[in-house]
Chain A
Amino acid sequence: MDQSTFASRLTFHDAIETLEVDFSHYVFDAPATVDAFYDHIDARVASTGKRWYFLVNYEGCEIAPQALERFAARGKNANISYGLGAVRVRPGERMRESIRTLAERDAFRANIFDNRDQAMVALGEMRKRRELLGAPTADAYLRVNDVHLNFGGVKALTGVSFQVHRGEIASIIGPNGAGKTSMINVISGFYRPSRGRIFFDGVERSHLPAHRVARLGFARTFQNIALFKGMTTLDNIMAGRRFRHNLFTDALYLGPAKQEELRQREEVEKIIDFLEIQAIRKTPVGRLPYGLQKRVELARALASEPKVLLLDEPMAGMNVEEKEDMARFVLDVNDQWGTTIVLIEHDMGVVMDISSHVVVLDHGAKIAEGTPAEVRADPVVIRAYLGVAA
């Protein structure tokens, strides 16, 4: 393969941490072509030792059907792209289906814009969001310190401590009744710990009521979906947004109130696009199937532009396909928005795949902590799960 052709199509914009990839009028005629190009990109990126935003130009790009699957798999890291590409049905034929249609059909994901200018604006916004949240840090972003939780005589949590770093995906796992949901409830301020402290971004926030915790930048989803059933998808997500509004201007719906509502609606539409729930905007959520309700709940949590996202079994009760979608969304949220994520999940495969840090609870106490690999190999964890003396 022609490495110099590949090289000439890559531009590193250091100032905006962006790698611009030019696929314009390139023809991917076989899986091998896709691999060759992406191997080159990966190698170049790795050699810089930095993270880059991807800006991709698809103008006139053609992908042969047999190469499509590989392309979809490897093209996932395109943050922003633009231009009309095509999937060739037969050699020589062009423009059967645009890349945008494909993206919308979910062959692969990308935010696709009409032209480079629009794409640059979107890229700018994405970078701004990331910057606001700050770069990943080595210090603890969220620190749970010796938390106890009692209900009457029942001890739900006993002396749990752990840390989550900014920008990482952390998982809390453990057998049923281990206290995972109680832990999330304590972090989100829904339960008040009987003892112990919680620090966020270096500041103690142990005893705030739940709505104040939410305003600090925490958002969550629930194990048993807790959507506002009588409201539409759109209203559910809008309710998740924090913006100034007041009774009198709302009642008149004139001037600033109207403009603010419409501005917020635009932001919400971005989340709707991101999670691909355009078709159910106006549907009362009570009528939606389970998988979609879970997605709307994620959308509502994202609407508040959280710094920390708490997910309580986001994939419970889903089929394989829905799980894959949800895992991808979680990764995308973390990747594109830089959001720190703490999740509870039973599916070990998912946990091992997407999280960088795992905390194991059993009977309300922490029994292990570490990387997925460490935890998986830990005999204490194995014993807790299998319930036998190891």
Chain B
Amino acid sequence: MIGFLSAVEGFFTGLSRVHRLLPWILAYLLLLPLPYLLKHGINEYYVDLANRACLFILLSVGLNIVKGFCGQVTVGHIGLYAIGAVSSALLALNYNLPFWVSAPIAVIITGLAGILVGLPSVRLEGAYLALATLGLGESVRIMIAVTPALGSSTGLMMIPEPSIGEFIFDNFESYYYLVMTCALIGIYLSFAILKSSTGRAFQAIREDAIAASVAGINVPFYKLLAFVISALYAGLAGALFAHMPPGYLHHNNFTIIEMVTLLLMVVLGGIGNVWGGVIGAIVVTIIYDQTKDYYFYQPLIFGIIMVVMVVFMPHGIGGVVKQAMIKRKFIEKHEEASGPA
């Protein structure tokens, strides 16, 4: 298994040497026929599952940026998701803006909200920051629940699907292309950020904020930037969620349980690892779907997995895989070096 992954990784690295976007284009092309394969090979429901997995991929990758790269403990991410979803829905319902206009505006609004959520991070650390962000996230949900204009208890319904001229994105397959494209772009950007100087600044802050500031990094600015970037991801995911058929939003979609599920994805996949977010999102979505018959025990299973992961595998599955691959590479190099001897 590790050998296979290493080979794939080697292949993609080779491709990226030709042109850095090449592996991504290849991945995109490979993922394009997925809905047809799923629909005709198994059944259409799995395309819906894939759509939801892509939404969660966007969310986890975004959360990973602020949590994994930058080390800021935020537990209010679901509030940003809610803001993105509700903004786009309201813009579309009240002002008849098409999705292609309302979604970007919603993303910007969420980004601004990200500044607000990120403000406590400038002064607080660790558990204090967790509390502040938790409070903010829950306040967003309660605001939605009690304000009739925001949907209140009946929710926002009949949110229009995106459309280009005559073509409406109103079934699983067409929506898949929308979300999958966004998810892939999101993953790519996450890698780009990781490798850039911004990403290095984030990681420096994660390791030791004081040392980072001594090294000349403007810590408050970068912390806020991390929050804003993750908010942009959440905003996009929210807008996509709102317009997904049947186009219904309710404050119940954004509770603490959803936040804990998101946390589980990031933890399971591996904090600080871009693929971690992806793996976590896919694995948790699949586990959740397959264990639906055991709904009695689902929160228990999730809770135990979280506790066990944190205690025994703090770097998640992604971390384990990465370690194994590094080990393998190391051993291979040593094979070469100490060769015939």
Task: Indicate whether A and B interact.
Answer: no
Residues of B within 8 A of A (CB): none
A residues with CB within 8 A of B: none
